[in-house]
Structure 1
Amino acid sequence: MQNRKPIIAIVACHKMIDGQSGQAVYQKYIDAVHFYGGNPILLPNTAAAEGNFEALVAAVDGILLTGSYSNVAPTRYGAAHIEEKEDLGRDELSFKLLAYADKQGVPLLAICRGLQEMNVYFEGTLYPDWREVEGFYEPHLEDASQPLEVQYQPVHDVIIQAGGRLKAFGDKWHVNSLHKQAINQVGKRLFVEALAPDGLVEGISLLEHPFMIGVQWHPELNYAQDDLSKFLFTEFIHYASQNQAQ
């Protein structure tokens, strides 16, 4: 079908809602996709099941891996620490979506936890907590005592690297930062798109792919005002539209 909005699959996360187990996506991700011309659909963790997955992804033009309260399971990248904030269903679905996007060339945008999943899928590793690593000094983790509008304010620069996709935007930008896990070893085949001034990896991409980019910050918050957020979502939906037309 031509002239329809590209369908963007947004991975859902396990949430406790009024004391009951549920699957959820923050509205800001849905709104950002809709604002830039995508047609968002939400994928619960049961989408990873055989039979379900193949039928669902056949209808998808782009994939969005969101940030989340949970963290990637240590066993995914060969770590042995205890992770209290796991979501194994989210892990299973996200890694299947990454494999599908990698093989089929489906555009994919990965945000925060999504960037970490993307790095691990390509055999990279993570720091469970960047605060335990000597040398990182930027305020990468939010002050949870502050209201959300303060937590999501830009707090440090990212330095955009030459030779990547983000270079078309510019050389540097000021971003928000709300994360504990961070990239340690960069995954195979991945290009480092952006670094914080202290060297923490803030952006990665698969340059051989039509469009696969991961960012450590949250472009979905001020998606209609922030210039780098505009660039990321505009490019993502553009490539999803191109994928739909094929």
Structure 2
Amino acid sequence: MRSSRAPFIGITADLSDGQRHGNKLPAEPTSFSPRRYSQAIEAAGGLSVILPPTRFGAAPREFVNRLDGLLISGGDFDIHPRFYGEKPIERLGNMKPDRTEFELELTGMALQRDLPVLGICGGAQAINVALGGSLYQDIATQIQDAAEHQQSSKKETGGHQIQIQPGTQLQKIVKQQTLEVNTTHHQAVNRLGKGLVVNAIAEDGLIEGIESSRHSFVLGLQWHPEVLAAKNLYQRRIFSFFIDVCKRLRRGA
């Protein structure tokens, strides 16, 4: 008999360094998650569980065994290039290796179990790295004639247009050829990880979305659909489809 309960979706938490930055963060190390991730999940019919980065060795496997889906969130930090076999360049930003190590291990175990995975912004980059891919460490430095990918306007507004690749899972979800998306990143997918295909590109040719050809549902998006979802049908479709897949693939359902 199919379970009727809402699927449990793990959302990876960000980390603060414990230093006070104005009034934004408490003056102690803190795990936190912007509310719009959980709001988008819950609006689509899921229940969110925040996953703090932890050094407890069995934690990633235990989390994956208890979840119906995984959302790898974004954050204001860069993935250290040692995770994809490169040395840092000068324009590399702030890094959080503890979070990255946790997310890469968590992602790897989720992929082994074929757990549905949605990666947003840095989460899309984490999926690519977990599957053996690499990143542009700094778009402006490493890509000639690249467009601006760090919009000055609020994230609730579009920053540029992307082209959805025909025949991809993303195209089937949003049912559009183009989308206006926000953009707040200075890194991007470079070499694709194993089994990944490009599902969206920016006007300058930069990869804006990836998905797996080897898993039931692995979707990485370079923009922030959770910020746009409240007022944008096409962004809401992404979360609705994700939750529907989690329900269908739920173990024991």
- Please tell me whether the aligned partners of residues 152 and 177 of structure 1 are also in contact (alpha carbons under 8 angstroms): no
DSSP 3-state at the match of 2:30: strand
Q: Is 1:113 aligned to residue 118 of structure 2?
A: no
Distance 1:129 1:63, change over 3 A: same
State the identity as a percent: 30
* Normalised TM-score (structure 2): 0.89
Distance 1:216 1:84, change over 3 A: closer
Deviation at 1:22, TM superposition (A): 0.5
Q: Is 1:210 aligned to residue 216 of structure 2?
A: yes
What 5-or-longer segments of structure 2 have no aligned partner? 19-24
Tell me which amino acid in the other structure corresponds to 2:14: C
Deviation at 1:57, TM superposition (A): 2.0
- Please tell me whether the aligned partners of residues 63 and 97 of structure 1 are also in contact (alpha carbons under 8 angstroms): no
Q: Is 1:164 aligned to residue 168 of structure 2?
A: yes
State the match for 1:138 in structure 2.
147
2:56 to 39, 43, 49: 49
State the match for 1:6 in structure 2.
7
1:29 to 37, 52, 58: 37
State the match for 1:85 in structure 2.
94
What is the CA deviation profile of residues 73-101 of structure 1, one whole-angstrom value per residue up to 9, with x for unaligned ones? 11101121164411112112211221122
DSSP 3-state at the match of 1:158: strand
The whole-number CA distance in structure 1 between the counterparts of 2:125 and 2:143 is 20
Q: Is 1:95 aligned to residue 104 of structure 2?
A: yes
- Please tell me whether the aligned partners of residues 136 and 200 of structure 1 are also in contact (alpha carbons under 8 angstroms): no
Q: Is 1:242 aligned to residue 243 of structure 2?
A: no
What 5-or-longer segments of structure 1 have no aligned partner? none
Deviation at 1:176, TM superposition (A): 0.6
The whole-number CA distance in structure 2 between the counterparts of 1:175 and 1:89 is 29
State the match for 2:131 in structure 1.
122
The whole-number CA distance in structure 1 between the counterparts of 2:216 and 2:242 is 10
- Please tell me whether the aligned partners of residues 140 and 177 of structure 1 are also in contact (alpha carbons under 8 angstroms): yes
State the match for 2:189 in structure 1.
183
State the match for 2:180 in structure 1.
174
The whole-number CA distance in structure 1 between the counterparts of 2:93 and 2:26 is 21
Answer with 226-235 or 108-117: which moved more.
226-235
